[in-house]
């Protein structure tokens, strides 16, 4: 998933800032192959170090094999303060003209790769930045670096737009809803990507009325793909839904089956056995919970004191740690056993189902990924300054920093070993 395209409530404003809406609307299907992505969006790595880059302008995925030496075991946890300002200087654009679209960690070097748009409108350019463990910044030459490309055959039409929701809600002014509605639907062709079992899984939408689509593409690309249409029962909305795509996804062994764990906007948690994702099928995912509204940003499998967990960040609330053990034999929520007649997630039952616990986090984590066995990495919006920081956070006992809060333990004599 991304701040500007993938998962954020301020998505429309970011799109306007980088000019993607105009670019998508002006991008007809072409027989020729562009030399490089015109937009760098969702990112993920394969276990072999292949970086996949989602391009929603040309409805394509680019694959870049990234050779990298193993990271030193003595490498310090990553901490890059004011990374937005540093990147603006590197890319020679104002900070306000940077849009962060995705993040992924190389599985061997543990370098962090960020996808951005630098500049606005027609001047905006797709950029991939490498952040080394020592904080050094560099860019990937998207044209010169060896790569292959997969073109998605059935994206939404270039002129397809969203429903205008002005009048649905008392704020903001109607004009902002008008702008949001004019966003090309093609910006959701690729929403999230994950490499799993030798295939690339791509969540997004297609040009079908049953729009929510999960694509499986083998790598190396051979031009073929398997497409499955996915519907879910959305508990808070009290209806089956087939349009909105999976926002973030991970994989786990659930009830003895290889299973895709999907997070949706508002925020259902859904299980889909991989065996059901066959070409041409229409499947109903098993809704087992709701994280309590918001929009999932990242889903990261981690080991927490030896227990398999999925760390989930969300635009609207603190991250959650979901035990995979809690997903086993989970009850599926359907119309006959779901909460009724409450305004969205204000029902006392929410968060609903085995969605784990919220964890303490100061600021807003826009993206997260597994840095190594001990650390997560987060692109974090500082709660006080609003600046961005790329920071390593311990998986356990809490993915947080102690320098950002004040507590009893900060006072003389108040350490954790003090008498109670």
**Taking Cα atoms as reference points, which of 29, 60, 16, 42 lies closest to residue 245?**
42
Integer Cα distance of 199 and 132 in angstroms? 27
Calculate ∠ Cα 25-30-31, nearest 5°.
Answer: 170
Question: Which pLDDT value is given to residue 6?
Answer: 38
Beta bridge partners of 216: 201, 226
Integer Cα distance of 371 and 389 in angstroms? 15
- Give the 3-state secondary structure of residue 309: strand
Question: Which pLDDT value is given to residue 420?
Answer: 58
Q: What are phi and psi of 291, to 5 degrees?
A: -75, -5
Give the HSE-up count for residue 320: Cα atoms under 13 Å, Cβ half-sphere.
27
Question: Which pLDDT value is given to residue 17?
Answer: 37
- CA 194 from centre of chain: 10
Mean pLDDT by 10 residues, the chain (420 residues): 37 41 49 82 98 97 90 76 97 96 96 96 92 95 97 95 95 96 95 97 96 97 95 94 97 98 96 97 97 93 97 94 98 94 76 94 94 96 94 95 90 79
Question: Which pLDDT value is given to residue 30?
Answer: 54
* 303 C-beta neighbours (distance < 10 Å), count: 13
Beta bridge partners of 390: 80, 379
Question: Which pLDDT value is given to residue 415?
Answer: 83
Question: Which pLDDT value is given to residue 174?
Answer: 96
Q: What are phi and psi of 381, to 5 degrees?
A: -90, 120
Q: DSSP state, 320?
A: E
Q: Compute CA distances 352 → 267, 272, 310, whole Å.
A: 10, 18, 16
Integer Cα distance of 405 and 331 in angstroms? 38
- CA 57 from centre of chain: 18
């Amino acid at each position: 998933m991304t701040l500007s395209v993938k998962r954020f409530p301020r998505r429309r404003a970011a799109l306007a800032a980088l000019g993607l809406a105009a670019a998508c609307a002006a991008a007809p299907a072409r027989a020729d192959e562009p030399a490089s992505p015109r937009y760098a969006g969702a990112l993920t790595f394969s276990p072999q170090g292949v970086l996949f880059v989602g391009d929603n302008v040309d409805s394509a995925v680019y694959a870049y094999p990234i050779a990298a030496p193993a990271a030193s075991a003595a490498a310090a946890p990553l901490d890059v303060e004011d990374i937005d300002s540093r990147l603006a200087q590197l890319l020679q654009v104002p900070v306000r003209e940077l849009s962060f679209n995705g993040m992924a960690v190389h599985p061997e070097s543990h370098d962090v790769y960020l996808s951005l748009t630098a500049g606005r409108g027609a001047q905006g350019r797709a950029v991939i930045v490498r952040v080394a463990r020592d904080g050094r910044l560099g860019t990937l030459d998207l044209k010169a670096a060896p790569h292959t490309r997969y073109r998605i055959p059935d994206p939404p039409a270039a002129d397809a737009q969203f429903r205008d929701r002005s009048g649905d809600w008392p704020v903001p002014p109607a004009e902002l809803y008008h702008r949001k509605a004019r966003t090309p639907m093609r910006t959701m062709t690729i929403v999230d990507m994950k490499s799993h079992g030798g295939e690339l899984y791509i969540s997004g939408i297609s040009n079908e009325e049953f729009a929510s689509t999960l694509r499986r593409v083998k790598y190396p690309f051979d031009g073929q793909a398997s497409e499955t249409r996915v519907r879910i029962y959305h508990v808070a909305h009290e209806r089956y839904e087939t349009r909105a795509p999976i926002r973030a996804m991970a994989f786990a062994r659930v009830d003895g089956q290889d299973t895709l764990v999907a997070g949706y906007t508002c925020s259902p948690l859904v299980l889909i056995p991989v065996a059901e994702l066959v070409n041409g099928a229409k499947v109903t995912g098993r809704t087992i919970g709701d994280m309590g509204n918001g929009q999932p940003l990242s889903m990261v499998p981690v080991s927490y004191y030896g227990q398999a967990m999925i760390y989930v960040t969300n635009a609207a609330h603190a991250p959650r740690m979901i035990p995979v053990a809690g997903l086993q034999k989970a009850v599926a929520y359907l119309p006959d056993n779901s909460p009724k007649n409450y305004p969205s997630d204000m029902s006392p039952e929410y968060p609903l189902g085995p969605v784990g616990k919220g964890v303490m986090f100061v600021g807003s984590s826009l993206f997260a990924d597994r840095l190594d066995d001990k650390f997560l990495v987060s692109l974090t919006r500082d709660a006080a300054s609003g600046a961005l920081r790329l920071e390593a956070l311990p998986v356990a006992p809490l993915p947080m920093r102690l320098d950002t809060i004040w507590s009893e333990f900060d006072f003389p004599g108040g350490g954790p070993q003090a008498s109670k």
